[in-house]
Amino acid sequence: MKSFTINQNDAGQRISKFVEKTVPALPNNLLYKYFRLKRIKLNKKRCQPQDKLQAGDLVELYINDEFFGEGRQDLAFLKVPSSLNIIYEDENIMLVDKKPGLVVHEDDDNTPDTLINRILHYLYEKGEYDPEQENSFVPALCNRIDRNTGGIVIAAKNAQSLRILNQKVKDRELVKLYLCLVHGVPEPKSATLKDFLLKDSSRNQVRIYRNQVPGSKTIITRYKTLQTNGKLSLLEVDLKTGRTHQIRAHMAFYGHPLVGDTKYGTNAQNKGLGYSYQALYAYKLRFAFQTDGGILSYLDGREFCVENVPFAKEIAKR
């Protein structure tokens, strides 16, 4: 039998979710069977999978040791660098400038050097995260950015902040603006584009259509031209929908693929420009809460920006 005292980071979740995180090797069918057999107890009493945990609760698991393994926590993150480009940090959150080329989570290649592992290493060194002191919580990212896209990624340091931010992202109470460098000069210089996107998962690619086709989803992209030299243009983009490859595919559909993007552009267009990745950056983040922000209310109305986007001065050079 193993027992766990619920702390603030464990509180607020269903006991079934807590057990899933704490004993990941336990099969789902056994999990619910153990609830029926009273081998999972809350404060010495029988409980139901949907019961919510509160700080100070006692969870007792009468589960075979084999399901716990040799150790519940993995310190693999200590093998990667702890270096980060931090835009903002407080006791609840971090805003990190992810550089192109770095993945946010482990990918199909099981790359250990990820943004989240760097953050875990950094917080471990600061003494703000110790796996041995946590039952189920691990600091986590609240948004994702593709490997070859740079920009602001939000990390939550505690469970309460994570729950709040995940809901704010879902409710679109965070405004994220992008910079991108495109071929040509968009006309008009500012516009809101509305079309339909169909995802082809087998090719990791999307197609854009003027009219709806089976399986397609509406996309809305608002752009504004900031600079142009007649050949290249720097745009600020506000995504009103957040679909896979939306900016890249949508701008290419209108004849203005992103510089460096050979998936939706061509090698011939990018020859000689020196870009090995698409010129796209999530450069600005604004907290625009429409509902209570709880312990993060102090962030409402604040805006953060990446000061030096690598391609932002490209037009002046050419």
Query: For all residues of the chain together, what is the average pLDDT?
Result: 93
- Residue 212 structure tokens: 């709806």
User: Given pLDDT bands bounded at 50, 70 and 90, which one contains residue 25?
Assistant: confident
The pTM assigned to this predicted structure is 0.84
Torsional sign, CA 66, 72, 75, 77: positive
With both helix axes pointing from N to C terminus, report the angle between 28-36 and 15-22 in degrees, rounded to the nearest 10.
130
Which is it for strands 217-228 and 232-239: parallel, antiparallel or unpaired? antiparallel
Mean pLDDT (whole number) for 282-309:
97
pLDDT tens by residue, 165-219: 999 999 999 999 999 999 999 999 999 999 999 999 888 899 999 999 999 999 9
The pLDDT of residue 74 is above 80: no
Instruction: Give percent of the chain above pLDDT 70.
Output: 97
Amino acid, res. 45: K
On whether the CB atoms of residues 138 and 76 are closer than 8 A, the answer is no
Q: What is the pLDDT of residue 131?
A: 87
pLDDT tens by residue, 243-253: 999 999 999 99
Q: Nearest 5°: phi and psi at 96?
A: -120, 140
Mean pLDDT (whole number) for 18-25:
89
| One-character DSSP codes across the chain | -EEEE--TTTTTSBHHHHHHHH-TTS-HHHHHHHHHTT-EEETTEE--TTPBP-TT-EEEE---GGGT-S-S---GGGGS-----EEEE-SSEEEEEEPTT-BSS--TT--S-BHHHHHHHHHHHHTS--GGG-SS---EESS---TT-EEEEEEESSHHHHHHHHHHHHTT-EEEEEEEEEES--SSSEEEEEEEEEEEGGGTEEEEESS--TT-EEEEEEEEEEEE-SSEEEEEEEESS--TTHHHHHHHHTT-PBTT-TTTS-HHHHTTS--SS--EEEEEEEE--SS--GGGGGGTT-EEE-S--TTTTHHHH-
Question: Which of 53, 160, 148 is CA-nearest to residue 101?
Answer: 148
Q: Any idea which residue has 């069918």 for tokens?
A: 29
